Structure 1
Amino acid sequence: MSLSPGFDVVHEVAVSSEGSAVFEHGWQSFSPTTTYPLGGRPHRPATERNRMLNYRQSSHPDASRYFGEGVLAVADGHGSVHVVAAADPFATGVRIQAAVTGSSVVIGADGPVLVTATSGSDVQAALRSWAVSAASAAGLAAARPAPTAWCTWYEYWGDVREQDVVENLGAMRALDLPVDVVQLDDGYFTEIGDWLSPSATFPDLCGLVEQIRAEGRRAGIWLAPFFAGARSRIAAEHPDWLLRHPHGGPLHAGHNWNQDLYSLDLSHPGAAEWMHTVFSTFASWGIDYFKIDFIAAGAIPGERSSGADPVTAYRDGLALIRSAVGPSAHILGCGAPVLPSVGLVDSIRVSADTGHTFAPEDGDMCSPSQEAAVLSAEGRQFMNGVFFANDPDCLLVGPKMENRETWAAHVSRVGGAVVSSDRLLGLDEWGLETTRRLLTR
């Protein structure tokens, strides 16, 4: 099997028929990331919608070759792990491909890479060694631990109301739960992109933030800053702020919330000013925890006002957000291009969304499910505490959660962010004890 056009051979590994394996790193949070036994079929998107929302839009790997976004590793079965990574893994979008040819694995890349070989057969240990070296070379500050949090999403979805938050805020006090942050998720705004226009179920959003802080807790909020929904006022009033096709017209970034989604071009001065206003407004209310979601939309190819390449534009967008919220605020990236986010977020989702059921409905390991969430969180465990705090997704331990003991053990094992997302008064004795134990640092 040969490499695809555009990939130059950078390394070749002689492999054994026993014990050899290939590690694929996915582009963004939701993209499958794991180690396959040599010859194992890699995960690929089940539908075009999944590819658009959960994989790198400009990459089209088939299942006949292994494909790593920024980093790929091969355990040769002879006692070494070969890590092939972009020479500048955080500021570029280099792709790496591996083709099995007889007793060799031929590795190619579409940009500059560095190759290191580590003794031993533990792929995660070799990757962690690479990560520590890459962080040191980039001059990264030590990763900050994530605060504990409670989030509205998995209990209330987009139908959350202000009184739901108030109820759980009271439950935290009554149950004496060590929750640092109370985070509002999807549902507090009118449309995707119109973040400062509260929905009817949040008549006093600023007042709710004050109430959370008056309880001695930090306030957090969810946004998808690179998205503008087709129904939004932002998209209607400022079409020039949207990422463009090379031939003109807004570029679709996906479809969700029963509408087309566009990518906001934060290199446009007007869009940049608006987004800075959104984040600085929330920060002025006392919000200092920001879950920014679906942010891979900021790194898709298209015509940008600045002419910047997608990865540069994405990193510039994150830097803009950081400037608006300040250095002490906690930024959690989700649906995020993982390596290009390093140094710009404090914690990052390292997997697909979890779910109340074990397996993904469509069989795609980017889709919400415990199975998909565990797969990629385990694949990216080497990053935890080096690049950022790993977020395995929310702690769900209510009675409706299948395999809740196994899922709680996974969240604990990751050792990164712990974010409860159950209705607290609905927990049984085991669920409450487990929630308290995992939230206690």
Structure 2
Amino acid sequence: MSSKPIERRSFIKLLAAGMATAMLPIRSMADLPPVVGQAAGPVKFKLGKSDWILHSDGTFDLIAGSIRLRNCRPTIDGQSIFVRNTFMGDSPKGKRIIYELEGNSFVMLDLKINNGSLSVGAELSSMSRAPFYFSPLGQARVENVDRFFKQGLGQGGPSGIYTIPKSSDANWGNTAGEQAWSYDSYLTTALLSARNETLAISAYDHYDFIQQCTVYNRPHRKGLYDRYADKENVFFDAGFVMENVPLQNDFIKLPEIYLVQGNNPFDTLQHIAWNISENMVARKDTKTSYHWNSWYEYQHDFSFEQLKEVLLGLDEIKPKIPLQTIQIDDCYCVLGDWLETNERWPRTMEDAAREIFQRGYRAGIWVAPFVVDSRSKIFKNHPDWLIRNFDDQPIRQDNFREGSYYALDGSHPDVQKYIARVFRAFRKMGFTFYKTAYLGWGLKDSTDIKRYNRDKTSVQILVDVMKIIREEIGAGAYWMASNSPFAPLIGFVDGMRISANVDADWTAAGIGNMFQESYNCQYFNNVYWQNDPDTIFLRDENNELTDTEKRSIALWNGILGGTVNTSDRFSTLTEEQLDLWRFLQPQDRPQSAVTPLWSYDEQGKVAVRRYKSERAWGILIVNDTEQRLKKNYKLEYLTGEENCWLFRWNQSDCMPLGELDQIEITLDPHDSVLLYASESNHEAPSDLSISGVMLEKYLRKHNLLD
């Protein structure tokens, strides 16, 4: 990050038409050309006050600013409950409704007004079994909502803010044209008004049931041939997937569902996420992970000899790269036989762990606790351990790498003992970093399969296994989850893969999904855990990404504040690539970037990182689309300051652009620009990382300069 002055000729060249990235300072509103994609600015977060309104027929409304949920009622398996009698009265914090059902069973709702939220609690009594799906807030007619936030069940989403679809007059005649739609959301959901008023919805406890919300419509057509779209209502359900499990003493009290009203989506969702993390005691204070894993370079062909080569390559790099962990991925055994190594590794993985931790790194290991290869001894010797269909046949879950793969039944006591033994053994070998994959295979709907214990939900069974793993690896071990559902893992894991698998080329399903999910899941980064957007590719070999794409991906991952990792062999990287990797070094203490234009702006991605001691910000703008991006950005919307001294920034240079109140940028597809915005006319320190680490000071403190 040189402080040398930039020549005027170079500056003009930078701004010339046809550049992949151009940036033009705009000093006043009078100088502005016609606005191109100018987004409305963020507003200071403020909670709103919501209220319940009860009706004599047992239905109720929710009023949250301009947002209305009308004629809410409890539903069972998507149907309104059949009520013999309804009783309404006061409760300690609000109103209570008791519904007497046919068969002398009861549903009781507590509609509460809390400090900063509403909540609905539910109790079911005189029922021997739970419904499959119960919604205390069901069939609510939605008013004054034009968008909704949908959170995916787990890795890969899809998550994001979506516009409420509108039926059109298309598809009339011989083609049915009702245009019905329905979208499910998990963990956290939000309804948004045209003014960005936000109603966020979630339970604060996710250890027993999948908490699911659904936004859906009921369209109608009119005219001959169903030619015209008619009146259309949008509805909302919030409830729990209970899987028809038996109820102890014919009674259950469900977790409360909370509804929080705020004046913008990001802060409202983050507010409710913090409440969830506190209630579920999330592991959000673990040192930020900065690690290497073997998969994307070697895949399942990685060997003990190659591990030693990687370590020797790291030994030769000066100054030393302060990686925390070297993680061995899927390569060392037949899946399922975790403690029986293949011919590429020593008899046990203890020798591998020793090679790693003797050099001062955490030793990491990949395990998929529910996955069993049909060629494994576990599959052959313990067929009763597998999840089966109702014809008592094991259910194949997937077939990849020319094998067939099955899932262990996490409710089986012997399976639980085996999983405990595996992780206990790895801990004794010296592994202190664990990446667990395919945890979704442990979340199997109990009504669809035959398993050992049919008295628990899939969530309860998964949580039982998660408790076992955390106990065996120890409280101090770093646990990264992959291919996993989100909600039941809060409180157990330190890091969570949030996007689909990426590869060394830019595809919508890979890198495209990474940008979508990392952007839309940033509200809970370092709240539930450290978000892991997957690996960074800097290498030249075996890489279809352009240099521009590699840099955009690396900077994006680095600025967000989650895990930072790569599979590249550092011995093959150029000095420039090594400098970029060092530039991504995260803070030890988890710190997140903000995404100030989230929900205001659908084009491109913007992330901002605050550097308090420098009284400055890092601003990264990425064009993750396939079209050229040209936009104006007011600095006030990004930093909160009307004017900043602005610099174009990278790991080796800092180019002054002057004191500005806004900027115009032009980016080609997949390009990015990193800016340093300072309260004073001081450029970025030459050894400042994108996360705010003073690199030379860090290396001196940890004796890594020699």
TM class by shorter chain equals: 0.7 to 0.9
Q: 2: CA distance between counterparts of 1:213 and 1:141?
A: 24
Task: Please say if 1:109 is aligned against 2:252.
Answer: no
Q: Does 1:392 align with 2:533?
A: yes
Say whether residues 1:15 and 2:15 are aligned partners.
Answer: no
Q: Is the 8 A contact 1:357 1:370 kept in 2?
A: yes
Indicate the residue corresponding to 1:77 in structure 2.
Answer: 194
* Counterparts of 2:535 and 2:444, CA distance in 1: 27
Alpha-carbon offset, residue 100 of structure 1: 4.3
Q: Does 1:192 align with 2:339?
A: no
Kindly provide the CA deviation profile for residues 307-344 of structure 1, in whole angstroms up to 9, marking residues without a partner as x: 32110000111111111111111111101111111111
Structure 1: how far apart are the matches of 2:534 and 2:188? Answer: 23
Q: Is 1:224 aligned to residue 376 of structure 2?
A: no
| 1:99-141 Cα distance to aligned partner (Å, 9 max, x none) | 24668642113426624243323x2222111101122233445
User: After the TM superposition, which of the residue ranges 202-211 and 273-282 deviates more from structure 2?
Assistant: 202-211
Q: Shift of the alpha carbon at 1:87?
A: 5.4
CA separation of 1:183/1:40 partners in 2, compared to 1, >3 Å: closer, same or farther?
farther
Question: Which of 344, 349, 355 is the aligned partner of 2:492?
Answer: 344
Instruction: Report the CA distance shift for 1:136/1:428 in structure 2 as closer, same or farther (over 3 A).
Output: same
Contact 2:207 2:460 (8 Å CA) reproduced: no
Matches within 5 A, 1:205-224: 205-224=349-368
The answer to which of 428-437 and 107-116 deviates more is 107-116
Report the AA paired with residue 375 of structure 1: Q
Q: Which of 428, 442, 451 is residue 304 of structure 1 equivalent to?
A: 451
Deviates more, 1:237-246 or 1:88-97: 88-97
Maintained 8 Å contact 2:182/2:215: yes
Give matches, 1:337-376, under 5 Å: 337-360=485-508, 365=509, 369-376=510-517
Matched to 2:216, the amino acid is: A
Match of residue 47 from structure 1: none
The residue number in structure 1 matching 2:476 is 328
Deviates more, 1:92-101 or 1:372-381: 92-101
Match of 2:556 in 1: 410
- Name the stretch that deviates more: 406-415 or 202-211: 202-211
Bigger fraction of residues in strand: 2
Distance 2:326 2:276 in 1: 34
Over residues 378-412 of structure 1, what are the superposed CA-to-partner deviations in whole Å (9 max), with x where a residue is unaligned? 11111111111111111222232521011112211
Using the TM superposition, give the Cα deviation of residue 208 of structure 1 relative to its aligned residue in structure 2, in angstroms: 1.9
Answer yes or no: is the 8 Å Cα contact 2:555–2:584 preserved in 1: no
SS at match of 1:396: coil
Change (3 A) 1:12 1:170: farther
- Root-mean-square deviation (CA, aligned residues, Å) is 2.4
User: Does structure 2 retain, via aligned residues, the 8 Å contact 1:393–1:419?
Assistant: yes
- Are the counterparts in 2 of residues 244 and 250 from structure 1 also a CA contact under 8 Å? yes
**Greater helix content:** 1
| d(CA) in 2 for partners of 1:83, 1:100 | 19
Secondary structure of the structure 1 residue equivalent to 2:539 = coil
- Determine if the alignment matches structure 1 residue 94 to structure 2 residue 240: no
**Conserved? CA contact 2:387–2:409, under 8 Å:** yes
TM-score (norm 2): 0.55
Paired letter, 1:73? A
Distance 2:496 2:288 in 1: 10
Deviations 1:327-382 (A, max 9, x none): 1111111011111111111111111112211114xxxx4xxx11111111211111
What is the total number of aligned residue pairs between the two structures? 407
- Structure 1 letter corresponding to 2:331: G
**CA 224–139 in structure 1, closer or farther in 2 if over 3 Å, else same:** closer
In structure 1, the gaps of 5 or more residues are: 42-61
| Contact kept? 1:70, 1:95, Cα under 8 Å | yes
Larger radius of gyration: 2
Q: 1:63 to 1:372 in 2, by over 3 A?
A: farther
| Aligned residue type for 1:33 | S
In structure 2, give the amino acid aligned to 1:420. T
Q: Flag the structure with more relative contact order, 1 or 2, with Cα contacts below 8 A and sequence separation at least 6.
A: 1
Q: Deviations over 1:189-240 (max 9, x none)?
A: 1x11111111211135321211111111110000111111112111111001
Residues 389 and 28 of structure 1: is their aligned pair in 2 closer, same or farther, counting only changes over 3 Å? same
Please name the residue that 2:686 is paired with. Answer: none
What is the Cα deviation at residue 417 of structure 1?
0.9
Map of 2:327 onto structure 1: 183
Q: Relative to structure 2, which stretch is displaced further, 234-243 or 245-254?
A: 245-254
Q: Percent identity?
A: 24
Task: Give the counterpart letter for 2:462 in structure 1.
Answer: Y
CA separation of 1:433 and 1:328: change in aligned 2, threshold 3 A: same
More displaced stretch, 89-98 vs 388-397: 89-98
What stretches of structure 2 of length at least 5 have no aligned partner? 1-74, 80-132, 168-178, 219-230, 241-253, 588-706
CA offsets 1:261-305 (integer angstroms, 9 cap, x no match): 211113222222211111111110100100000110011123332
Structure-2 separation of matches of 1:390 and 1:29: 10
How far, CA to CA, are the matches of 2:442 and 2:166 in structure 1?
32
Contact 1:23–1:74 (8 Å) recurs in 2:
yes
1:146 aligns with 288
- DSSP-derived class of the 2:316 partner: helix
- Please tell me whether the aligned partners of residues 145 and 385 of structure 1 are also in contact (alpha carbons under 8 angstroms): no
Alignment partners' CA distance in 1, 2:180 and 2:556: 28
- Check if 1:236 corresponds to 2:380: yes
Residues 63-82 of structure 1: CA deviation (Å, up to 9, x unaligned): 82221023321211134111
Alignment of 1:254-333 (within 5 A): 254-301=398-445, 302-307=449-454, 308-333=456-481
1:202 is aligned to: 345
SS in 1 for 2:210: coil
Task: Report SS of the residue matched to 1:210.
Answer: helix
Letter of the 1:21 counterpart: R
Q: What's 1:162 paired with?
A: 304
Give the equivalent residue in structure 2 for 1:49.
Answer: none
For 2:164 and 2:285, the matched residues in 1 are separated by 33
The more displaced of 27-36 and 350-359 is 27-36
Match of 1:31 in 2: 157
For 1:418 and 1:150, how far apart are their aligned partners in 2? Answer: 9
